[in-house]
Structure 1
Amino acid sequence: MKSDLLSNIYNPADLRLLKEEQLTQLAQELRRFIIDVVSVKEGHLGASLGVIELTIALHYVFNTPDDLLVWDVGHQAYGHKILTERRENFHTNRQLNGISGFPKRDESIYDTFGVGHSSTSISAALGMAIASSLKGDFEKEHIAVIGDASIASGMAFEGLNHAGVTDANILVILNDNAIGIDPSVGALKKYLTSVKTGKNPRQNNIIKSLNFDYSGPIDGHDLPLLIEELNRLKKIKGPKFLHIVTTKGKGLQQAEENQVKYHAPGKFDASTGEIHIKYEENLPPKYQDVFGLTILDLARKNEKIIGITPAMPSGSSLKFMMEEIPERAFDVGIAEQHAVTLAAGMATQGMTVYCNIYSTFLQRAYDQVIHDVALQNLPVIFCLDRAGLVGEDGATHHGVFDIAYLRSIPNMIIYAPINEIALQNILYTAQLSLNNPIAIRYPRGRGVVADWEVNNFGRYKTVKIGEASCLKNGTKTAVLSTGTIGNNVISALNECSNPENIAHYDFPFIKPLDYNTLHHIFTNFESIITIEDGVKNGGFGSAVLEFAASNNYKNKMQLLGIPDHFIEHGTVNELQQICNVDVKSLINLFSNEAK
């Protein structure tokens, strides 16, 4: 009977006490541990299963945490977390007050760099390596682990370009599994495939041309080979590059065969791998599907419509258009800056471009939004999925800054639909006659109208730009909401005492604001409450305050939204409670206001 190895490993120092021949058993135990926990607690699965052997080899060969290990994105870091003093807490992964789903500096000394967005590892590790050299520490190792989807990003190549002309002691490990969340795309993918299959002459190697000591490709699941190669590379100074080939989802058959679905599969049977069925009949749609099905419907009728997404065809549901009209729907890989300027270029030629980027990822293309789109007043339609609090992915993924960072840009229209019907109508309106760029922000998850397709497909209504609406009349206090958080207001008003004293206005347009309605509100109500699922600093409430100051209104005002600190991970409802924008908090607030 084999002994249990994993339960005796608290940190990498314990790991290094094992004999090399014991590591294969440890890999099996570590894989099983992750499967058992994630099957119940949910989280990212396939990426971590694919790098079990690499994780063990890195901590076995290198002297972490003194040697610095940087994981790109962090989806694949579960094994790393378990081996670095967090095995006993791993069941709290991505839960409120539990450990983060991504490497995080204030969580562990083994997490050398906080990650969540892709393609940062090479630059970060290079920065660490140069700093070590400046401090006279020439023995410390600096390792960046990056996937083939992430290395296609411009930032990764910027890091490679710089590293190749330094003597920095950096090792870049390319985890090549031909997939990110969706399958990898582009010319670099084709190049890497040719390298793996031996069709590309080694002397034409891109990485060697950038002055790296290149080795590989080698089998990333062969532990003895990995350890041998890492020990060899440890003796070589300067920039090094190791190309390993792995299988995402390794060790769980279903995860290997359906890598997109098992990236983050939800709850599943740990022994069989079968995903637990979620009964979704008669439920409202996911906002991403409202976008995906609506743009497909519109594109069938309008040949100028183009869809673009940076590596999120499944997450954005642009996949529907990609499947039916592939010549007008583009996955450009993890390249948000390129996606925005590509859209701008198309717009100059009269195309109607829907550029679908998660709110948190549009931050990476802020200059392009300003310089290439807004400055030229090109009518690009930005569809910002995952706006607001996203839940368990935490601080790196919450889309809470978009209102504030877009509101300051001239020519930009900002729209937040209260429900899926409003989302459809603005998607329809945007392709008619807009002469300005527009950002349409909508949340992760489901809407509120179960029969949305029956009610609205083919019956789209044109949205009047800059118009707000009164959803409920009142006498004393006016609540001004923008976006889907307005549904919390509706629910709360249905349950609070004396609701007749409180009016509710929906402001889908954050820019331009409906000044006529605001004048009416400030003239007729004693107090004003604004609510948004973005940061209060610079957000929708700030815009209303600016209006009040400009017009010398003195009404009592209260701004509700995301406070001025980073919100960690938890369920959306838990995080809304922390921010006092959940239904229960609003009931208490409105009941006091209505007295």
Structure 2
Amino acid sequence: MTSTPQPQAPLLPLLTEIAGLETLQALPAADLPRLADEIRRFVVTQVCRAGGHLGPNLGVVELTIALHRVFASPYDALLFDTGHQAYVHKILTGRQDLFGSLRQSGGLSGYPSRAESAHDWVENSHASTALAYADGLAKARQLSREQHRNVVAIIGDGALTGGMAWEALNNLGASTDRPVIVVLNDNGRSYAPTCGALAGHLALLRHGGEEPQNLFRSLGFAYLGPLDGHDIAAVEQGLTQARDLDRPVLVHIVTVKGKGYPPAESDDADCLHAVSVVDPDTGRPPPRTQATSASWTSIFAQELADLAEQRSNVVAVTASMLRPTGLHPMATRFPDRVFDVGIAEQHAVTSAAGLAMAGYHPVVAMYATFLNRALDQVIMDVALHRLPVTFVLDRAGITGPDGPSHHGMWDLSLLTSVPHLRIALPRDADQLRQLLREAVDDADGPTVIRFPKGTVGRPVPAVARVDGIDILHRTSPGCQDVLLITTGPLAHPALEAAATVRSEGLGVTVVDPGWVQPVNETLMSMASRHHLVVTLEDGIRAGGIGSTITQAFQDAGVATPVITLGLPRTFIPHGNRAALLSEAGLDGPGIARCILQGAGRASSYGVRGLG
């Protein structure tokens, strides 16, 4: 893991002295508020410079200090649900000097990482899982007669809206002989204010005069709180009491997201939940010196709002990600037709199925990686009933610095097996608009539109269109060596590769089917007129679009050899999106190299016209 020199300012004398948890635990209580202030300044400096999760980490500074003073990590297990609030934990467990490489290739992960430290137990950054991990660890502690080793799960009120969290609470509360400490970090929000009945109950617990009925006590937990999460002494006392009770305990900690950083505290939208490179004085990105392209999300957001204006049956569903997935413009114009169900992807999908049964056309907007959590619902609750639900998957493919749990690389391999499901991958803004309208017009079954994180590239016009397939490039009609089937924004490197291999004497036809599932039958006839087919996708190549096309060719008796290019079946680390795609061979040079190698192999097997 690489590291770069740290900024010289601001000076942080106390934080510099923290060499490990022993130093922290020996620090006089009177010095802790000053340490918290230094940690906040360090986090602001580093995150504003490199990008990352800002608001969540600023809100848990005192809580994390208290956790590491009461419990002996890693002997005691501290499990951070979601993990985007673990920067302070990393600072206190010996990784302060690595923050110069935060979220860079080969550098410090933006989430807990088992490869980085024994203090990181869980690195999956999908929400609502920590309590289930805790349940399993507590069972293991009991079987091994190690119940003196504490199991502590830190979960936010936003993540507590997830179904898995309640499944775990149901088990944990009934297991009085397996002590687990649940630390509920209640800041009233995830990306947005926490929704649903849980938010109302927590508000009663926070502000009630006489104690209301307590849901957590009803589930079998001892309940401590609410405690001021920015009062280190109070939090330490509560955690110590919870530890000594030797039973399932929920400690209710009330915090302020973005605490101590005015730009975050005053940001009602998401308290600067996650930022790119920003000015530390303002929390805003530096002024742009030139115009930049709109993001995929913003194009979708505007088009969906316009569609909702034209079609009263269009509704939208999100799992606690209203702004990140682009539903905010529609929610502003049609607030009664946008539904935020909390961090509950399974429920979101089946709720959308109910809306579709009643004649509405739901658009379910979520990150591609999070649809994995609701695959059963997509298959059994939507596709089996052939319901017209459109899934819009943001952050598809390689997302970059957030790492393996956030890369949206699994959806294509999972969804290609679903009957009645149509999948589209737009290559530019105009095609996104068109495909979205086609999806919403489809009343015959579910549809999927997926696109990556970031800005939309320059338009890629078609030179011709044949039976719904866009021809993006072709050489002279008599030179049909390679059929290159591109998908989504990989059209840009596909065209670059075509120019390269043309200079080597190979003719290339580049086509974009737009809708990649089901396989357009015209691709069969196109393939039969070429000597080699190469498919591109920014999902896992095993079981993905290329595999689906190959199977369709085989079923139709098309003998043209097919090379499928995509992402490897492995967990891809965090890093720059362009660099990671290049490593996978999905840039212009990589695609060209593969075509030329494939052409040579095909020639050795007697295919004429290649090499």
Q: TM-score if structure 1 supplies the norm length? A: 0.93
Aligned counterpart in structure 1 of residue 73 of structure 2, from 61, 64, 69: 64
Distance 1:553 1:11 in 2: 64
Q: Does 1:346 align with 2:355?
A: yes
Q: Is the 8 A contact 1:493 1:499 kept in 2?
A: no
Q: Is the 8 A contact 2:205 2:212 kept in 1?
A: no
Equivalence for 1:83: 92
Equivalence for 2:468: 467
Residues 413-444 of structure 1 deviation map (CA, whole Å, 9 limit, x = unaligned): 11111112111112112222430111111111
Distance 1:420 1:281 in 2: 20
**Structure 2 counterparts to residues 72-221 of structure 1, below 5 A:** 72-166=81-175, 167-198=177-208, 201-221=210-230
Q: Does 1:546 align with 2:551?
A: yes
How much does 1:588 deviate?
4.1
Equivalence for 2:513: 507
Letter in 2 for 1:472: H
Aligned counterpart in structure 2 of residue 487 of structure 1, from 485, 489, 492: 492
Equivalence for 2:481: 476
Q: Does 1:304 align with 2:317?
A: no
How much does 1:367 deviate?
0.9
How much does 1:14 deviate?
2.6
Equivalence for 1:420: 429
Q: Does 1:358 align with 2:367?
A: yes
Distance 1:499 1:394 in 2: 39
Equivalence for 1:254: 263
Distance 2:579 2:457 in 1: 19
Letter in 2 for 1:558: I
Equivalence for 1:372: 381
Identity between Structure 1 and Structure 2 (%): 36
How much does 1:359 deviate?
0.7
Q: Does 1:517 align with 2:523?
A: yes
How much does 1:95 deviate?
0.8
Task: Provide the secondary structure at the position in 1 that maps to 2:35.
Answer: helix
Distance 1:577 1:430 in 2: 31
Letter in 2 for 1:47: P
How much does 1:369 deviate?
0.6
Distance 1:17 1:388 in 2: 46
Task: Provide the secondary structure at the position in 2 that maps to 1:546.
Answer: helix
Letter in 2 for 1:482: T
How much does 1:585 deviate?
2.3
Task: Provide the secondary structure at the position in 2 that maps to 1:411.
Answer: coil
Distance 2:212 2:58 in 1: 33
Letter in 1 for 2:203: T
Letter in 1 for 2:183: I
Aligned counterpart in structure 1 of residue 449 of structure 2, from 425, 436, 440: 440
Residues 366-408 of structure 1 deviation map (CA, whole Å, 9 limit, x = unaligned): 1111111011111111111111111111100111111110110
Q: Is the 8 A contact 2:263 2:283 kept in 1?
A: yes
How much does 1:508 deviate?
1.9
Aligned counterpart in structure 1 of residue 59 of structure 2, from 33, 50, 61: 50
Equivalence for 1:458: none
Gaps of 5+ in 1: 456-462
How much does 1:81 deviate?
0.8
Q: Is the 8 A contact 2:54 2:272 kept in 1?
A: yes
Q: Is the 8 A contact 1:502 1:590 kept in 2?
A: no
Equivalence for 2:606: none
Task: Provide the secondary structure at the position in 1 that maps to 2:315.
Answer: strand
Distance 1:9 1:552 in 2: 68
Letter in 1 for 2:217: K
How many residue pairs align between the two structures? 580
Between 362-371 and 18-27, the greater mean CA deviation after superposition: 18-27
How much does 1:518 deviate?
2.2
Q: Is the 8 A contact 1:77 1:102 kept in 2?
A: yes
How much does 1:38 deviate?
1.0
Q: Is the 8 A contact 2:368 2:394 kept in 1?
A: yes
Residues 9-67 of structure 1 deviation map (CA, whole Å, 9 limit, x = unaligned): 23212322222222222111211111111111111111001000011111111111100
Identify if the C-alpha distance between structure 1 residues 588 and 313 changes in structure 2 by more than 3 Å, giving closer, same or farther.
Answer: same
Letter in 2 for 1:401: W
Equivalence for 2:537: 532
Q: Is the 8 A contact 1:356 1:383 kept in 2?
A: yes
Q: Is the 8 A contact 1:287 1:445 kept in 2?
A: yes
Q: Is the 8 A contact 1:95 1:569 kept in 2?
A: yes
Task: Provide the secondary structure at the position in 1 that maps to 2:272.
Answer: helix
Equivalence for 1:460: none
Task: Provide the secondary structure at the position in 1 that maps to 2:401.
Answer: coil
Distance 2:123 2:441 in 1: 43
Letter in 2 for 1:479: L
How much does 1:470 deviate?
2.0
Aligned counterpart in structure 2 of residue 568 of structure 1, from 551, 573, 577: 573
Gaps of 5+ in 2: 1-10, 600-609
Q: Is the 8 A contact 1:483 1:507 kept in 2?
A: no
Task: Provide the secondary structure at the position in 2 that maps to 1:558.
Answer: strand
Identify if the C-alpha distance between structure 1 residues 128 and 320 changes in structure 2 by more than 3 Å, giving closer, same or farther.
Answer: same
Distance 1:203 1:100 in 2: 41
Q: TM-score if structure 2 supplies the norm length? A: 0.91
Distance 1:532 1:353 in 2: 27
Letter in 1 for 2:168: G
Q: Is the 8 A contact 2:474 2:508 kept in 1?
A: yes
Q: Is the 8 A contact 1:473 1:500 kept in 2?
A: no
**Structure 2 counterparts to residues 279-294 of structure 1, below 5 A:** 279=288, 282-294=291-303
Distance 1:391 1:591 in 2: 29
Q: Is the 8 A contact 1:40 1:268 kept in 2?
A: yes
